[in-house]
Structure 1
Amino acid sequence: MSDDSTQRFNRRTFLKATGAAGAAVAASGVTAATPGREPGPKKDEILVGVSAGRGDVEAQVSQHVPGNAEVVHSSKTLRYAAVKFPSKAPEHAKQNFIEAITKKDGIKYAEKNATHQAFATPNDPRFSDQYAPQQVESPAAWDEVSGYGDSGVTIAVVDTGAQYDHPDLEENYKSDPGKDFVDDDSDPRPPSPSDEKHGTHVSGCAAGVVNDSTGVAGQGNSSLINGRALGPNGGSTSDIADAIRWATDQGADIINMSLGGGGYSQTMKNAVQYAVNNGALPICAAGNDGSSSVSYPAGYSECMAISAVDSNEQLASFSQYGSKVDLCAPGVDVLSTVPTDSYAKFSGTSMATPVTSGVAGLTLAKHSSLGPSDLRSHLKATAKDIGLSSDKQGAGQVNALNAVTTQPGSGGGGDDGGSGDSTTSTASGTLSDSYDYDDYSYAWEYSSPSQVVVELSGPSGADFDLYVNTGTTSAATPSSYDYGSYTTDSQESITIDNPDTSTEMQIDVDSYSGSGDYTLTITEKK
């Protein structure tokens, strides 16, 4: 038995560097406005508003303009002047000017001459018949992302087969479109299209080709692959688990699972943990029986659970809900692609889930460095509160515009935003054989962290497991724990949103089999 006395981690806090403002700008003389200004973006200009009663707008502003800038335009009616800086002027020079001039008497404001564009309206002829993209603000987000998305982002649809050559899907499906785990072949096309419309519909909700003059639009132009794990009568745990593993190995960033009903399964739990550990975020349907708890796989801590709302942003009558719901999304009468070369409206948390997956893909097109845990946090932090209780909406309705325009870690929009600060602590140890274990007690750095991630990295030839208790002083054990991660290897991870910090966190590292060294890492996020 190794030393099982309670240990406390040495915490290392990572502080963000804060830049200091530079020196004040120098004054300059009056410069005449430039006539005949060209239309279009003017990113090098600062607009300065002058209080009424302060005389000539241009004269008031010009006396505070630095020598490398000039007043190029003014409006007597709206009482502002445009100050143009050289194109090579650093951003901090403009910011310094804004800070300095707003301190002067009579100056009401100073701000960048921001670029505005009409929101993208794709040429898909049935876009006007849709409401889901508009409700989650995907069209506004498209203005922020080149090409309406990024083909380098991959969404795996684990579902029935899909008509991957549908005119409104073919461009976004990869040339190797997937694998059939039901019939054990390389073609995920549904053999009975009239009985297997689901996967095609889900594909279109997520990534029906945007702006292709055809049919409808998904949430963005991510790439699609399909793991056919369900037939007309459903699918087995093993087929679904294999499809998750396959999708992960194919490099999927997001795994959409609009399926459930089998109850808790360790095989499935291991599969979704494999996905997260290897860079894929599972996004899953909460379920459609209207009950107050979500189904599996949505119920696993590794997965995002998605409830469904209607076009009035009310919880759908069929949608399951509960404390494990992460987000909600449109899921009633959602228009999308179906076999063969057609379109239909379906309802279900099955539709809300790929809407969320599509937004997640669009988010990665803008913020490509986000891993599964950070992507999950970011989607929740930027969700829109639509006034439902947290057990019905989770952090809120997924919102594409917020997700792509908000810098990850800066919070904003939802219940789990946080400041972006984090602290990481590590401990290491050795387990000598089966049933050996180490117990730890972890003292919280933050009073109310938005999330804590506990990770175990052990030897490749052993099977170490991880167990956690919160809100109690009782040690976690394999038979008594709040959160557990016990895959078939020694790479374990537990993510807890809004953890209970009323007591120190209790952690157990347990050897199911084998021996060797391990490292335990805890990351708190504010």
Structure 2
Amino acid sequence: MADDNTLTRRSFLTATGAAAGSVAFVGAGAATPGKGRGNGRGKGTERREYIVGVSASEDDPRGYVRKHLSGKEEPISTNERLGTTVVGLPENAAEQAHQNFLGRLEAADGVKYVEQNVDLQAQVAPNDPRYRDQYADQQVNAPEAWDATFGDSGVTVAVVDQGVKYDHPDLDGNMDGSVSNSGYDFVDDDDDPYPDALSDEYHGTHVGGIAAAEVDNGEGVTGIGNSSLLSGRALSEQGSGSTADIADAVTWAADQGADVINLSLGGGGYTDTMKNAVSYATNNGALVVAAAGNDGQGSVSYPAAYSECLAVSALDPDETLASYSNYGGNIELAAPGTNVLSTWTDDAYDSISGTSMATPVVAGVAGLALAQWDLTNAELRNHLKNTAVNVGLSSDKQGSGRVDAGNAITTEPGSGGGGGGGGGGSTSTTISGSLSSYADSDCSTYTFEYDSPSQIVIELSGPSDADFDLYANTGVGACPTTDDYDYRSYTTNSQETITIDSPDTSTDLYALVDSYSGSGDFTVTFTEYQ
């Protein structure tokens, strides 16, 4: 599915939440972040929050936004990496006050977008004594992988979720000790991501254990592998978190050097802020794995629907698609998600279901693969797909197939072995150009080298003091424009990435580099995967 193409330059989004589904940890409701959240950014206040994206041509996004505020409009937090500032308005302010704010900020030359800060929600043989009570590890053939490696603590899987109970006896040995308390709390804005209410806040601990509970430690269950766990607490004990907090956690995890970022959360629609956060993580080398959603519908929830994210559907133990799992053209891999046993906040273990559970299975396999092979995030993504197993479902339900740890470890990347995701080869082409001003753009074409490539990644690298954007068309035979395109990467700087799975090769691919502001030289790299 192409990225959202309904937004034009200088436009803004007012995002709305999706209705919650019937399965635990489903969807997201409409949100008023700050209202009763009890966080460190305005405890107890009732306000409506907006995220303002400021172009890289302005070197102080918070200061620039502040110049355009009036009355009780309050800057709350800033993400320098994304060029965003969260602004709060009193919830009881007249609707005209909100419209005045939006109109004033949209008219500012340096403001790239304004969107509401909506909430997302959680999407729910070794000597370990409860190993035989598990089925997910066996179903993805982890024991075959463990013949070669139990994993590597030098590989980090970041869990952006509720807090992880990092002193759980089956997790404490695999927590990332390079960071204080193995993470950060973006809900309460402190350096301790420990769950606030253990009886309610179990989702992050369960997700973390699926990916990386200690293997072969004589304790409890096994995770997929012994990767290091990093906890970015972005969801409260109620299971929801704001777009800004989740985006902050994603960019923070990338800055900590996370190799894999697990997003067992979702809901709502497209937002530039989350799109830019997962793009930032991807550009900085992380593989972002995300839950397809639990609405049982034929479309994938955001953030999994962003092209930067590897979207995961959930399987029942008999390897049929779980009734609650979303499906659609964005699905890249499937994994067991029903009744998955993992760590719990009472220091014991429990089973729950959801695409939330399938996602860390894939994240854990990704971490295990990195313990065996030296791969970029794009190479890793394609290796997991190339080594997946066809379980007899349509591609919109299983993507390339069910993830398989044994194949991922025993198949050399690029050899063409494993499952049905493609042949494993890749080819790369780079072009250069220059833009002279905000009114300038440059269009180029790329001719596919493979008959049926599994993926193409387009990467733009431009000047740090300018703001260039990247647009692409496939199967159209014409250059995209800033108003009419199939794919877009639209961050507040000039580092952009577009990832297209199973691209239409009936015509050449067209890519447009456009200057939102500034000038300078750029390169565009096309990497095509079989």
TM-score, normalized by length of structure 1?
A: 0.75
Partner of 2:263: 257
Amino acid at match of 2:210: C
In the aligned structure 1, how far is the partner of 2:438 from the partner of 2:155?
Answer: 41
Given the alignment of the two structures, is residue 470 of structure 1 paired with residue 452 of structure 2, yes or no? no
Highest CA radius of gyration, 1 or 2?
1
Kept after mapping to 1: 8 A contact 2:195/2:237: no
In the aligned structure 2, how far is the partner of 1:411 from the partner of 1:140?
Answer: 19
CA 1:265 to 1:345, structure 2 compared with 1: closer, same or farther past 3 Å? same
Partner of 1:354: 360
Task: Map 1:230-379 onto structure 2 (within 5 A).
Answer: 230-233=235-238, 234-367=240-373, 369-379=374-384
Shift of 1:326: 0.6
Q: Residue 196 of structure 2 is aligned with which of 176, 185, 191?
A: 191
Q: Residue 405 of structure 2 is aligned with which of 400, 410, 422?
A: 400
Provide the secondary structure at the position in 2 that maps to 1:235: strand
Shift of 1:412: 2.5
Amino acid at match of 1:500: D
Shift of 1:441: 2.2
Provide the secondary structure at the position in 2 that maps to 1:190: coil
1:6-36 CA deviation, whole Å, 9 max, x = no partner?
xxxxxxxxxxxxxxxxxxxxxxxxxxxxxxx
1:398-424 CA deviation, whole Å, 9 max, x = no partner?
00000011111122233322251x332
Q: Residue 215 of structure 2 is aligned with which of 207, 210, 214?
A: 210
How many residue pairs end up in the alignment?
402
Shift of 1:493: 1.3
In the aligned structure 1, how far is the partner of 2:427 from the partner of 2:136?
Answer: 38
In the aligned structure 2, how far is the partner of 1:472 from the partner of 1:409?
Answer: 30
Amino acid at match of 1:165: D
Partner of 1:174: 176
Shift of 1:439: 1.1
In the aligned structure 1, how far is the partner of 2:419 from the partner of 2:306?
Answer: 21
Shift of 1:522: 1.4
Kept after mapping to 1: 8 A contact 2:383/2:424: no
Kept after mapping to 2: 8 A contact 1:378/1:411: no
Kept after mapping to 1: 8 A contact 2:382/2:529: no
Amino acid at match of 1:184: D
Given the alignment of the two structures, is residue 416 of structure 1 paired with residue 421 of structure 2, yes or no? yes
In the aligned structure 2, how far is the partner of 1:216 from the partner of 1:300?
Answer: 33
In the aligned structure 2, how far is the partner of 1:495 from the partner of 1:273?
Answer: 10
Kept after mapping to 2: 8 A contact 1:442/1:505: yes
Q: Residue 383 of structure 1 is aligned with which of 385, 388, 392?
A: 388
1:92-116 CA deviation, whole Å, 9 max, x = no partner?
xxxxxxxxxxxxxxxxxxxxxxxxx
In the aligned structure 1, how far is the partner of 2:221 from the partner of 2:427?
Answer: 44
Amino acid at match of 2:212: A
In the aligned structure 2, how far is the partner of 1:164 from the partner of 1:447?
Answer: 48
Kept after mapping to 2: 8 A contact 1:381/1:414: yes
In the aligned structure 2, how far is the partner of 1:274 from the partner of 1:457?
Answer: 12
In the aligned structure 2, how far is the partner of 1:156 from the partner of 1:142?
Answer: 21
1:180-216 CA deviation, whole Å, 9 max, x = no partner?
0000010000110111100000011000101111110
Given the alignment of the two structures, is residue 201 of structure 1 paired with residue 206 of structure 2, yes or no? yes
1:140-172 CA deviation, whole Å, 9 max, x = no partner?
100011xx1100000000000111100000000
Partner of 1:161: 163
Amino acid at match of 2:253: A
Provide the secondary structure at the position in 2 that maps to 1:174: coil
Partner of 1:512: 516
1:312-360 CA deviation, whole Å, 9 max, x = no partner?
0011110000010010001000000011211100100000000110111
Kept after mapping to 1: 8 A contact 2:337/2:354: yes
Kept after mapping to 2: 8 A contact 1:409/1:417: no
Range with bigger deviation, 244-253 or 406-415: 406-415
Amino acid at match of 2:317: S
Q: Residue 136 of structure 1 is aligned with which of 128, 140, 164?
A: 140
1:30-72 CA deviation, whole Å, 9 max, x = no partner?
xxxxxxxxxxxxxxxxxxxxxxxxxxxxxxxxxxxxxxxxxxx
Task: Map 1:96-115 onto structure 2 (within 5 A).
Answer: none
In the aligned structure 2, how far is the partner of 1:336 from the partner of 1:200?
Answer: 8
In the aligned structure 2, how far is the partner of 1:150 from the partner of 1:444?
Answer: 37
Kept after mapping to 2: 8 A contact 1:245/1:275: yes
In the aligned structure 2, how far is the partner of 1:489 from the partner of 1:154?
Answer: 27
Shift of 1:454: 1.2
Amino acid at match of 1:352: A
In the aligned structure 1, how far is the partner of 2:366 from the partner of 2:450?
Answer: 28
Provide the secondary structure at the position in 1 that maps to 2:504: coil
Shift of 1:383: 0.3
Provide the secondary structure at the position in 1 that maps to 2:217: coil
In the aligned structure 1, how far is the partner of 2:424 from the partner of 2:342?
Answer: 37
Kept after mapping to 1: 8 A contact 2:389/2:420: no
Partner of 2:152: 150
Kept after mapping to 1: 8 A contact 2:386/2:423: yes
Kept after mapping to 1: 8 A contact 2:413/2:424: no
In the aligned structure 2, how far is the partner of 1:189 from the partner of 1:458?
Answer: 39
